[in-house]
Chain A
Amino acid sequence: MLLQILVNGISLGSIYALTAIGYSLIYSILQLINMSNAAVFLTSAVIFYALYTSLTGSSVLLTFILTLMAAGAIGYVIEVIAIRPIREKGDSNTYALISSIGVKTILEQICQGTFGSEIKQFPTLLDGKYIDLFGARTSAIQIIIICTTLLILFFMNWFTQKNRVGRGLRALSQNLKACHLMGMPVNTLIGVSFAVGSMLAAVSGVAYCMYLKSISISVGSAIGNKAFAATVLGGIGELKGAVVGGYILAIAENLVSGYWSMSASNFISFGILILVLIIKPTGIFGKKEQKKV
């Protein structure tokens, strides 16, 4: 029982973690909570569904690659249209935040308009195949999700620590202005970070719908809120915090729904969130803000 809960928790946690990284990545650079992230999650799933059912037919891999590209492009365009004009004039982050809410509304509305409000079947991989993992029934898609996430986490680690672009992003998160003065292509780098964040949300969105084997218009806000809670729990702006927060939340939820009740599991994530906000508002890994006079 416990092992089963852990397996389910880790696979759901992977999905939270991927979206949460998107929040944290942008936050670490711009101190901006990018509300459009959850909408990209939904949009990518819808794009995947649309491509799979109409164009690419049976090839999941091809559809997936196209979806990733589309999500990256959407992320970049969001930055250029909705964030950059505000950022460049040095306006308060609150404005960029409100603007990202605008984008979220637009994307959600487009999805709702084109997709409709009913629940539809979503293509999945290796349906009905299970592996017995020390007594825990683990579906093939769960294993795929967990492995993909681990791969992406290793990649992200390499990307931000070793890669030139990643180094640039880290420099940006330290001091945006200095980077600008040093002649770094700040705008391109920020655009790329939006693209990366969106692609992570896309992986997460497609994976989640494959896991559920269905898609509806409400998946974005459901997971978006949880991923956001995970980000805060881990400490917003910290990549490892997003991952740890995602896993903690998902495992806690599964524990509660496994041993107690389904409806209580909704409370647990926000219960944890309230506790964090009361005890340590900066989250598990967050650094304390220093008051500057």
Chain B
Amino acid sequence: MKKYLNSKNILFVLIIAGMAVAPFITDAYQLRVLISCELNMIFAMSLNLLMGIGGTVSFGHVAFYEIGAYTTASLWYHFGWDYSTNFIFVILITGLAGLLLALPMSRITGRYVTIITLSFAEIVSLIIKNWDPVTLGQMGIVGIPSITLFGMRFKNKIQFFYFALIFVIVTYILMYWLVNSKLGRNLQAMRDDSIAAEAMGIKLFPNKVIVFTISAIFAGIAGSLYAHLMTYVEPATFNANLSFNCISIVVVGGLGNFTGTLIGALFLTILPEYLRKFEFLFKYRMIAYGMVLVIVMWLNHSIPGLKLKQSITGFFRKLLHKETAVEEV
């Protein structure tokens, strides 16, 4: 039990506890924002696994989110299946998509990963836009019901909220186990120095495939929840900005830091909504995302190399406990 007791996990428990009581003090609108937070948390944690642990920046992560959303939406539309069945297909199909994206990784390194991931998202969005019989093309699928589990339908957003919260908790715990295992260590070694990792006998390609697949599955799950939350899906929603926002959340929270990702998601989901109050600011709310990206990159730059466990959470921790800053140097 002792090994689970560290500052990040304690912070995680506090965040979850805070979230768990939130429905008692929020109105319907605020609750909806919090549910968006939860989806962003799952989505961003999946990206953090790929970026922070796997060392591969995916600039097209929205593709998996979109596939997840469309899988559950199409299955409902064509077969009328409920979420408990669709969920299995979401995992299978997004996992397969992740596997597919990982395949070219055996031939390419570094810079081309950016190009491949960007192109992958474009291709997925084109296919969904034009595959009318399955996805209904540009029109999108509307009227998706709220989540139904084994015939039991979620009556209100509070149930939805707790359902998504369970996913957040499960995702976090699975990520924690994974990172602190042989697989997680091997991935981190590849991230830090792929040549040295190879020399230690790590097979790079299978590990890449595994991390892409797992990451895709969690992004897909977040997407599938999104479809049921919004009750409609259309291609225009899933644009590149969603990928970039997700990257923002991850870098704000700190690469490889999953508790940080939760905080980043809360911060960057609630802030734009808060700006709604000010019409002028709301019009330019996306600038906040842009500025956050540039500024966090500035904050990170002070020590050369890929900086992990830094940025906002690390930054605040340094402010609070000067002595813990030593380990970062």
* Complex contacts, A99 vs chain B, CB 8 Å: 293-294, 297
* B115 in contact with A102 (CB, 8 Å): no
* B112 in contact with A86 (CB, 8 Å): no
| Cα A225 to Cα B118 with chains together (Å) | 9
| Cα A277 to Cα B294 with chains together (Å) | 30
> Does A106 count as interface, using CB distance less than 8 angstroms?
yes
| Cα A239 to Cα B303 with chains together (Å) | 33
The total of chain A residues at the interface (CB under 8 A) is 48
* A113 in contact with B293 (CB, 8 Å): no
- Binding stretch for chain A, among B32-40, B157-165, B173-181, B281-289: B281-289
* B286 in contact with A33 (CB, 8 Å): no
**Contact (A281, B287) CB under 8 Å given A89-B301, A98-B293, A221-B240:** no
> Does A53 count as interface, using CB distance less than 8 angstroms?
no
* A102 in contact with B293 (CB, 8 Å): yes
* A102 in contact with B305 (CB, 8 Å): no
* A102 in contact with B119 (CB, 8 Å): no
**Contact (A277, B304) CB under 8 Å given A86-B298, A109-B286:** no
| Cα A86 to Cα B294 with chains together (Å) | 9
* A98 in contact with B291 (CB, 8 Å): no
* B247 in contact with A109 (CB, 8 Å): no
* B304 in contact with A110 (CB, 8 Å): no
B289 (CB) vs chain A CBs: closest residue: A105
**Other-chain contact of B123, A31, A90, A92, A274 (Cβ < 8 Å):** A274
| Cα A291 to Cα B198 with chains together (Å) | 12
| Cα A95 to Cα B250 with chains together (Å) | 12
* B283 in contact with A86 (CB, 8 Å): no
| Interface bits A3-17 vs B (CB < 8 Å: 1, else 0) | 000000000000000
* B292 in contact with A102 (CB, 8 Å): yes
> Does A91 count as interface, using CB distance less than 8 angstroms?
yes
A residues 246-283 in Cβ contact with B at 8 Å:
263, 266-267, 270, 273-274, 277-278, 281-282
| Interface bits B97-140 vs A (CB < 8 Å: 1, else 0) | 00000001001111110111011001100100010000000000
* Complex contacts, B286 vs chain A, CB 8 Å: 105-106, 108-109
| Cα A289 to Cα B195 with chains together (Å) | 14
| Interface bits A34-72 vs B (CB < 8 Å: 1, else 0) | 000000000000000000000000000000000000000
* A278 in contact with B104 (CB, 8 Å): yes
* B111 in contact with A92 (CB, 8 Å): no
Which residues of A approach B to under 8 Å, CB–CB?
A: 31, 33, 81-82, 85-86, 88-99, 101-106, 108-110, 113, 221, 225, 228-229, 232, 236, 263, 266-267, 270, 273-274, 277-278, 281-282, 289, 291-293
Please provide the 7 A-B residue pairs with the shortest distance between their CB atoms, ordered closest to farther.
A102-B293, A105-B290, A106-B290, A102-B294, A89-B301, A99-B297, A102-B290
